[in-house]
Amino acid sequence: MWDQISSNKFKSAALIAVFIALVALIGFVFGQVTDWGYLGLVLALGVALAMSVGSYWFSDKIVLSMSRARPVDRELEPYLVNTVEGLSIAAGLPVPRAYVIDDPAPNAFATGRNPENAAVAVTSGLLAMMNRQELEGVLAHELAHIKNYDTLLQTLAAVLAGSVTLISEWMLRSFWWGGRDRNRDSGQLGAILMVVAIVLALLSPLAATLIQMAISRRREFLADASAAMLTRYPPGLASALRKIGGDQNQLRAANKATESLYIVNPLRARGRGMNSLFNTHPPLAERIALLEAM
């Protein structure tokens, strides 16, 4: 488990570094094919920073509102409150705010910029379906996301992906406002740079999406391993994942903006092979096999 945790932390950090390098590259090329110069690089990093700051402060409120989550009722769901509190103490975390999504589809997610401002949300379907050990496994997984700062990391990845798409769109539009004439006048080197810029602008959003999905998948493996360490009972989470994966109910509150937050993808899987690159979660069978091996 320690090897799994160390590997996933390293790979996640490497992916974020690649993400930032991609934003910087787009900004640099954007400046070179327009009259912005190195200001393009500064603009790109500034846009990414501004969007990141906004998401840092408000992402939890936005996600909970989009998911139609309500604060947990201690009288109606006392076991949920007690389980969250007990696991938080065991994990050495501040007790996060607990929410319930009234939906028969079993699922759960965590959100918040740091452990002091975190929240966990579970569906009513999950509470009805899980036994004690399975519910503890799911909640331990979500608390692991909080403890490992996955909620912040995934928000950062989403913001960087949006920044790449936005800057790429600006770059393409700038070609119609003088960029082409400028590089045509600068000779062969300018023409080559223009081709590189067009290819980069077209492919960068796809690359950003793939990196974002890869980060999400690595963090799910990390949270599974961390949850197994917290509960000391990997089969509990494995059984919960098997039940959630076998349920046929569609989570109505979920959408593409929030799908990566849930413990199991609430939307239909995108397929196998090349299509699996766009999945926000690793295959359930692989996650269950790793947990059972622990």
Amino acid at 192: I
35, two tokens: 């009259």
CA 111 to chain centre: 10
Q: Do the domain assignments include residue 215?
A: yes
Cα–Cα separations (whole angstroms), residue 92 to 27, 116, 143, 221: 41, 12, 10, 21
Structural contact between residues 35 and 178, judged by C-beta atoms closer than 8 angstroms: yes
Q: From CA 284, how far away is CA 11, in angstroms rounded?
A: 20
3-state helix, strand, coil in the chain (%, to 5): 70, 5, 25
Encode pLDDT of 199-217 as tens digits.
777 777 787 778 777 778 8
How is residue 61 annotated by DSSP? Answer: H
Cα–Cα separations (whole angstroms), residue 114 to 57, 67, 247, 256: 10, 20, 31, 23
Mean pLDDT of 111-136: 94
| pLDDT at residue 31 in the model | 74
Q: Do the domain assignments include residue 109?
A: no
Query: Would you put residue 187 in left (φ > 0), alpha (ψ -120 to 50) or beta?
Result: left
- Out of 142-151, 189-198, 236-245, 253-262, pick the least confident: 189-198
Q: Is 155 exposed, middle or buried (0-12, 13-18, 19+ CB in 10 A)?
A: buried
Comparison of pLDDT for 143 and 48, the residue scoring more: 143
Count of domains in the chain? 1
Which of the four pLDDT bands, split at 50, 70 and 90, describes residue 12?
Answer: low
Q: Do the domain assignments include residue 216?
A: yes
Q: Do the domain assignments include residue 224?
A: yes
Q: From CA 38, how far away is CA 191, in angstroms rounded?
A: 19
| pLDDT at residue 86 in the model | 96
The residues pairing with 108 across neighbouring beta strands, listed in sequence order, are: 122
For the chain, the farthest-separated pair of C-alpha atoms sits apart, in whole angstroms, at 74
Mean pLDDT of 265-276: 62
| pLDDT at residue 35 in the model | 67
How is residue 262 annotated by DSSP? Answer: B
- Out of 6-10, 81-85, 120-124, pick the least confident: 6-10
Domain that holds residue 288: 2-66+148-293
Q: Do the domain assignments include residue 71?
A: no
Q: Do the domain assignments include residue 169?
A: yes
Which of the four pLDDT bands, split at 50, 70 and 90, describes residue 269?
Answer: low
Q: Do the domain assignments include residue 287?
A: yes
| pLDDT at residue 216 in the model | 80
CA 145 to chain centre: 10
Q: Which of 134, 136, 142, 259 is catalytic?
A: 142
Which of the four pLDDT bands, split at 50, 70 and 90, describes residue 178?
Answer: low
Q: From CA 217, how far away is CA 239, in angstroms rounded?
A: 20
169 is catalytic: no
| pLDDT at residue 69 in the model | 95
| pLDDT at residue 72 in the model | 95
Is the pLDDT confidence value at 277 over 70? Answer: no
Q: From CA 24, how far away is CA 29, in angstroms rounded?
A: 9
How is residue 97 annotated by DSSP? Answer: E
Which of the four pLDDT bands, split at 50, 70 and 90, describes residue 7?
Answer: low
Encode pLDDT of 218-240 as tens digits.
889 989 999 999 999 999 999 99
Mean pLDDT of 126-133: 96
The residues pairing with 21 across neighbouring beta strands, listed in sequence order, are: none
pTM exceeds 0.95 for this model? no
Which of the four pLDDT bands, split at 50, 70 and 90, describes residue 5?
Answer: low
Q: Do the domain assignments include residue 101?
A: no
Encode pLDDT of 57-115 as tens digits.
777 888 899 899 999 998 889 999 999 999 999 999 999 999 999 999 999 999 988 88
Q: From CA 235, how far away is CA 239, in angstroms rounded?
A: 6
